[in-house]
Structure 1
Amino acid sequence: MDFYNYYVLLYIDDLTIAAGVKEFEEILKRELAAADCADSVKVLETGSSGLKDYGIEISVYPGDVHYGNLSTADIDEIVHEHFIKGRVVTRLVVKPSEGQFKTSELGPQDVRLQNRIVLSLSGVIDPENIFEYFAEKGYEAIGKILEEKVLPEQVVEIIKASGLQGRGGAGFPTGLKWEFAHRAEGDQKYIICNADEGEPGTFKDRLILEGNPHLILEGMLIAGYATGAENGYIYIRGEYDLSIKRMEKALAQAYEYNLLGHNLFGSGFSFDIEIKKGAGAYVCGEETSLIESMEGKRGIPRLKPPFPGTRGLKGSPTVVNNVETLANIAPIILKGADWFRSFGTKSCPGTKVFTILGDVRYT
């Protein structure tokens, strides 16, 4: 294993790509090589930290120094001051509060004040490297369920006990939705991840998908096991190019390591997932409109009842969960319902990811 004097986390998402982060990365690596630092500084790609005010940003370890609002003109100074002379370039450090300079243990103050569950690994791991997800207990939740032979109805009860509510807007209890599908009769059942984030100015699901796609796959696996489904779909907004790319790579890796497919872990449980791209219709964020679209029809909401849990995709029991909802599943299985209830309120436990933008001090 190679060891380096410095590790640089480079945050890459759709917004930083538009800001020129790929050119920044190319020039950074070229400058490091020219300064004979290529063997002592390792540049690693990761997802977004969620701090959109900071434009192109990097974190440097050791020291957890967070530089933000960078341009290619700043690269030479960072290379020669920080990586060669060991001096922090203070003018480029993100300042958590007015007049204060701090290189905190966990990053900018905005992050340190958060209890991150679904975003805990976003901006930390390489989302395109399954081994980095493994290193953070990735796929241990589904492994625990199958190894310990936890019954599907017991998994449903854990999610019910956690109090997790749908994070897509309606706030319907997730465990109850799973229970309806679990009890419903049908030769085929389906799990759908609703990643059709069509609300203008909303992009929190995109950050989750880009930052930790395997977390969503594991949540879908657990949902499939709990409800008796063997097929899942990720209905994703067609404009989310990077999310689609990373999810496609995550799916390929999951199949390569037998985390998806037939007879997982020799348990008899089989589950397959495919991606369906949306065509940009805002209304398809509603679960029954989404199902209509997947069936090749106009995306128009269905009358309820029947609900998707009993009659959804292709007339079969179907669970439609939002990206953020599914991202909570594996942590709940690993840490327990009581742990999840220690966050949030009595009526709405857990954490919630929000997109904040506009004329506010920090976003």
Structure 2
Amino acid sequence: MTTTESAEKLLSPVLSAFWDEPESWTLETYRRHDGYEGLRKALAMDPDELIAYVKDAGLRGRGGAGFPTGMKWQFIPQGDDKPHYLVVNADESEPGTCKDIPLLFANPHSLIEGIVIACHAIRSHHAFIYLRGEVVPVLRRLHHAVAEAYAAGYLGKDALGPGKDLELTVHAGAGAYICGEETALLDSLEGRRGQPRLRPPFPAVAGLYACPTVVNNVESIASVPAILAKGKEWFRSMGSEKSPGFTLYSLSGHVANPGQYEAPLGVTLRQLLDLSGGMRPGHRLKFWTPGGSSTPLLTDEHLDVPLDYEGVGAAGSMLGTKALQCFDETTCVVRAVTRWTEFYAHESCGKCTPCREGTYWLVQLMRDIEAGKADMADLDKIADIADNINGKSFCALGDGAASPIFSSLQFFREEYEQHITGRGCPFDPARSTVWADGAGADGDDDNAHLEVNA
């Protein structure tokens, strides 16, 4: 058995099982693959029993933090005589993250079925999908799938049982990164400027329209139907004890075959790279992000770290959205971190001072370092500014902006110093004798020993 064949056995196509079929997005195709079977089982259960079932399955939120989905549903107060709302966060905007959009494009009914199940569990009669407005083809396809679900009786009148109607609204956002934060998303849904709310109260108590609200990621909700259809034991047979189940890994960057790889939690980057053909020919892995640019970057020393919440956490990073951006040895770490920092400064909503002011000054200093106009004291200065942002802003955007600074200084401080002492980027072909054309200072081709599948 080859290494690739061995690695392929690790894959667990569930959400992506029939993405490559003609018209995979239609209700007919979805039903042909046992679509809405999980819903049938869910509606036969009491809502509290359903919540307990999902909780026992161990499904954790796939949007970044990994909070147990069933526990989040359980937080909704009962007997409060208020409307309950489900809001699906499809505002996928984390740099490097590209799992929810292809899922919605190829298999939207998995989300719709999950929404109906979740609404039954939390006793909700109105759900919302908050989608990025830029992805118009996905928006159209989602509207089509919702119309099919209404026509088939999965939504609308008596969808949750006699006298229990369910409405589903698809809302297109205006393209703000901050609206991926759940409370900013709720403000945007209500027609206000998207800015994070001060908590408490939490959305489970006072969310959309000041009513109890559950906010879940697309993949979290879309994973629920398979759990109901195939059983919680089946779900727990994959992954690890604390991070069970399957998930979508988005592999991108300097890899031979980027794409979506659906595998059990706990797979390693080395195994995924084996599946994808490794790094691009003649190059080796230098650094990578386990969950998008807002998670601390890791290096080639972390190739065998289990990609689950505990394993990545123990390595000093976060699993996040499982956006595995891989960069080879031709990449300037300082330049990459500068571009990410510029993104966070641009997307900061400006509500809190640490993030608003801190990201601005990080950009100024990072640009100076990249251009070779800084001095050594500026390295301690960016670390200090990042420390004053981290954990002190209204939402996680500030933490995300600080993460690349901390981690890149930890692993690549020497490269920062080279920019300062060399008065510019050593990776710039226009001025470097070290990296131009991939040749070393001695004229030998350094790529000769880099044909590593990382």
| Same fold (TM > 0.5) | yes
Partner of 1:358: 253
Judged with a 3 Å threshold, the aligned counterparts in structure 2 of structure 1 residues 235 and 150 are, in CA distance, closer, same or farther, namely: same
Q: 1:243 Cα shift? A: 1.2
Match of 1:181 among 65, 71, 76: 76
Tell me if the contact between 1:184 and 1:317 (Cα under 8 Å) persists in the aligned partners. no
**CA offsets per residue over residues 147-182 of structure 1, 9 Å max, x none?**
xx3100010001100111100001111000001115
SS at match of 1:183: coil
Tell me if the contact between 1:194 and 1:322 (Cα under 8 Å) persists in the aligned partners. yes
SS at match of 1:310: helix
Partner of 1:308: 203
CA distance in 2, matches of 1:234, 1:184: 25
AA matched with 2:31: F
List runs of 5+ in structure 1 lacking aligned partners. Answer: 1-96, 101-107
Partner of 1:344: 239
CA distance in 2, matches of 1:112, 1:243: 31
1:164 aligns to 2:59 (yes or no): yes
Match of 1:150 among 24, 35, 45: 45
Give runs of aligned pairs for residues 241-260 of structure 1, distance below 5 A.
Answer: 241-260=136-155
Judged with a 3 Å threshold, the aligned counterparts in structure 2 of structure 1 residues 240 and 268 are, in CA distance, closer, same or farther, namely: same
Judged with a 3 Å threshold, the aligned counterparts in structure 2 of structure 1 residues 330 and 192 are, in CA distance, closer, same or farther, namely: same
**Deviation larger for 121-130 or 293-302:** 121-130
CA distance in 1, matches of 2:68, 2:153: 31
Partner of 1:335: 230
Judged with a 3 Å threshold, the aligned counterparts in structure 2 of structure 1 residues 268 and 192 are, in CA distance, closer, same or farther, namely: same
Partner of 1:80: none
Match of 2:37 among 127, 140, 158: 140
1:201 aligns to 2:107 (yes or no): no
Judged with a 3 Å threshold, the aligned counterparts in structure 2 of structure 1 residues 291 and 265 are, in CA distance, closer, same or farther, namely: closer
Q: 1:143 Cα shift? A: 1.8
SS at match of 1:355: strand
CA distance in 2, matches of 1:110, 1:255: 41
Partner of 2:162: 267
Q: 1:187 Cα shift? A: 2.2
Q: Which structure exhibits the higher relative contact order, with contacts defined as CA atoms closer than 8 Å and separated by 6 or more residues?
A: 1
Judged with a 3 Å threshold, the aligned counterparts in structure 2 of structure 1 residues 271 and 300 are, in CA distance, closer, same or farther, namely: same
1:286 aligns to 2:155 (yes or no): no
Match of 2:28 among 131, 153, 156: 131
AA matched with 1:174: T
Aligned residues: 257
CA distance in 1, matches of 2:107, 2:207: 28
CA distance in 1, matches of 2:55, 2:233: 11
**Deviation larger for 133-142 or 221-230:** 133-142
Identity %: 40
AA matched with 2:146: L
Judged with a 3 Å threshold, the aligned counterparts in structure 2 of structure 1 residues 184 and 172 are, in CA distance, closer, same or farther, namely: farther
**CA offsets per residue over residues 41-100 of structure 1, 9 Å max, x none?**
xxxxxxxxxxxxxxxxxxxxxxxxxxxxxxxxxxxxxxxxxxxxxxxxxxxxxxxx99x9
Structure holding more helix per residue: 2
AA matched with 1:167: R
**Deviation larger for 155-164 or 186-195:** 186-195
CA distance in 2, matches of 1:341, 1:290: 32
> Which structure would you say has the larger Rg?
2
SS at match of 2:83: coil
CA distance in 2, matches of 1:206, 1:109: 29
Judged with a 3 Å threshold, the aligned counterparts in structure 2 of structure 1 residues 220 and 266 are, in CA distance, closer, same or farther, namely: closer
CA distance in 2, matches of 1:297, 1:204: 28
What is the root-mean-square deviation in Å for CA atoms of aligned residues? 2.1
Judged with a 3 Å threshold, the aligned counterparts in structure 2 of structure 1 residues 125 and 160 are, in CA distance, closer, same or farther, namely: farther
SS at match of 2:216: strand
List runs of 5+ in structure 2 lacking aligned partners. Answer: 259-454
SS at match of 2:130: strand
CA distance in 1, matches of 2:48, 2:21: 34
**TM-score normalised according to structure 2 size:** 0.54
Tell me if the contact between 2:206 and 2:212 (Cα under 8 Å) persists in the aligned partners. yes
CA distance in 1, matches of 2:240, 2:63: 18
CA distance in 1, matches of 2:256, 2:63: 26
AA matched with 1:206: I
Partner of 1:7: none
Tell me if the contact between 1:205 and 1:324 (Cα under 8 Å) persists in the aligned partners. yes
